C-alpha cells in the first residue's frame, strides 16, 4: 500500500501547474472583444483546452490568423491559419503542439469562443526567465482586412504550493494527493523520510468516499 501511494506521489510531483492570464490586444475598431479566458490554469505535461470568450459586433465571412509564441523574450514559433478550419501548429524540439479550432463560417455577430487545444511537455516551463510562454493570436477579415480578433495569453509556472510548510501527516495522505498540489521538495525525499499516516481499514467507508471524490 505504501509503495503504491509513494509511486502516485512521485507521479503527481512531476506535474507542473501553469497559470494562465489573458489580454484583449485589439483596438476600438477590432470586431471581437475578448472578455474571459477559461480555465485560469492547466497542468503539464498533458493535454488541455483553453477558451477565450467574447462578443463579435458584426458578421464575418472568413478570416486568417497569425499565431506567434515566445518563450521568455525569445521568439519560439510562428505560423498562420484559417479561422474557418482547425489548424495544428507543432512546437520546436518535440515539446508539444497547439491546435486552433475552426469557427463555423460565416461567423454570425454575437457571442464567440476562440478555442485552442494544447498538448504540452513540462520541459517548456523551467525555473527562471524562460518560465513564461507568451501566445499571440491576431485575425484579420478576408474581405475587408479589418482586425477581427486580437488575443494575448501568458502561461507561467505557478508558485510552490501554499501549504509547503504544513506537516503532511496532519492530513490524510490520500486527500492531500487528490486535492493539494504536491510540493516540489517531495522529489528529493526517500521512502525512509516519508511519514505515512495510519492506513484505514481495508473496507473503510471514509477511504472509499474520499477515493471517489
Q: What pLDDT digit, counting tens, does each position of 141-168 carry?
A: 999 999 999 999 999 987 653 333 333 4
Q: Same domain for 43 and 134?
A: yes
Mean predicted confidence (pLDDT) in 190-202: 45
In this structure, are 122 and 59 located in the same domain? yes
Q: What cell does 139 get?
A: 485575425
Tell whether 85 and 122 lie within a shared domain: yes
Residues 8-22 pLDDT 10s: 343 345 688 999 999
Residue 6's SS3 state is helix
List CB contacts of 86: < 8 A, sequence separation 6 or more: 99, 100, 101, 102
Among 53-62, 99-108, 144-153, 159-168, the least confident range: 159-168
Q: Does residue 72 lie within any of the structural domains?
A: yes
- Distance from C-alpha of 118 to C-alpha of 47, rounded to nearest angstrom: 5
Domain count, the chain: 2
**Residue 39, class by beta-carbon neighbours within 10 Å (0-12 exposed, 13-18 middle, 19+ buried)?**
exposed
Task: Say if 163 falls within a structural domain.
Answer: no
Residue 1 located in a structural domain: no
Asked if 196 contacts 5 with a C-beta cutoff of 8 angstroms, the reply is yes
- Mean residue pLDDT of the chain comes to 76
Paired residues of 177 in beta bridges: none
How many Å separate Cα 45 from the centre of its chain?
10
Same domain for 125 and 84: yes
Say yes or no: 35 and 127 in one domain.
Answer: yes
Q: Is 162 a domain residue?
A: no
Supply the CATH number for residue 86's domain. 2.70.220.10
Residue 66 has pLDDT above 80, yes or no: yes
Identify whether 10 is part of a domain: no
Cell numbers 504544513 correspond to: 166
Q: Which domain range does residue 26 map to?
A: 17-157
Per the domain annotation, does 2 fall within a domain? no
**Which residues are CB-neighbours of 196 under 8 A, at least 6 positions away?**
2, 5, 169, 173
- Rounded to 10 degrees, the C-alpha dihedral 193/199/202/206 comes to -130
Pairing of strands 63-71, 74-82: antiparallel
Whether 126 is in a domain gets the answer yes
Q: Based on the fold, state whether residues 61 and 153 are members of the same structural domain.
A: yes
141 and 182 share a domain?
no
Measured between alpha carbons, how far is 126 from 132 in angstroms, rounded to an integer? 9
Judged against a pLDDT cut of 90, whether residue 80 lies above it is answered with yes
Statement to judge: residues 152 and 172 lie in one domain: no
% the chain with pLDDT above 90: 54
Place of cell 521568439: 75
Q: Is residue 88 included in any domain, yes or no?
A: yes
Q: Please indicate, yes or no, whether residues 119 and 208 belong to a single structural domain of this protein.
A: no
Amino acid at each position: 500500500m505504501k509503495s503504491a501511494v509513494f509511486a502516485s506521489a512521485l507521479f503527481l510531483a512531476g506535474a507542473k501547474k501553469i497559470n494562465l492570464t489573458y489580454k484583449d490586444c485589439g483596438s476600438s475598431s477590432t470586431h471581437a472583444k475578448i472578455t474571459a479566458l477559461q480555465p485560469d490554469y492547466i497542468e503539464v505535461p498533458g493535454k488541455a483546452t483553453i477558451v477565450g470568450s467574447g462578443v463579435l459586433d458584426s458578421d464575418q465571412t472568413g478570416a486568417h490568423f497569425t499565431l506567434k509564441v515566445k518563450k521568455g523574450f525569445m521568439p519560439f514559433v510562428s505560423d498562420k491559419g484559417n479561422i474557418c478550419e482547425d489548424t495544428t501548429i507543432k512546437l520546436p524540439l518535440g515539446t508539444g503542439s497547439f491546435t486552433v479550432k475552426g469557427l463555423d463560417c460565416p461567423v454570425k455577430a454575437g457571442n464567440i469562443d476562440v478555442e485552442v487545444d494544447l498538448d504540452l511537455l513540462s520541459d517548456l516551463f523551467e525555473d527562471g526567465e524562460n518560465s513564461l510562454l507568451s501566445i499571440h493570436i491576431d485575425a484579420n477579415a478576408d474581405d475587408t482586412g479589418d482586425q477581427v480578433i486580437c488575443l494575448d495569453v501568458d502561461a507561467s509556472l505557478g508558485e510552490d504550493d501554499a501549504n509547503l510548510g504544513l506537516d503532511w501527516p496532519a492530513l490524510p495522505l490520500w486527500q492531500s494527493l487528490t486535492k493539494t498540489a504536491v510540493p516540489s521538495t517531495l522529489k528529493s525525499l526517500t521512502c525512509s523520510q516519508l511519514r505515512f499516516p495510519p492506513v484505514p481499514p481495508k473496507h473503510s467507508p471514509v477511504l472509499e468516499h474520499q477515493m471517489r471524490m
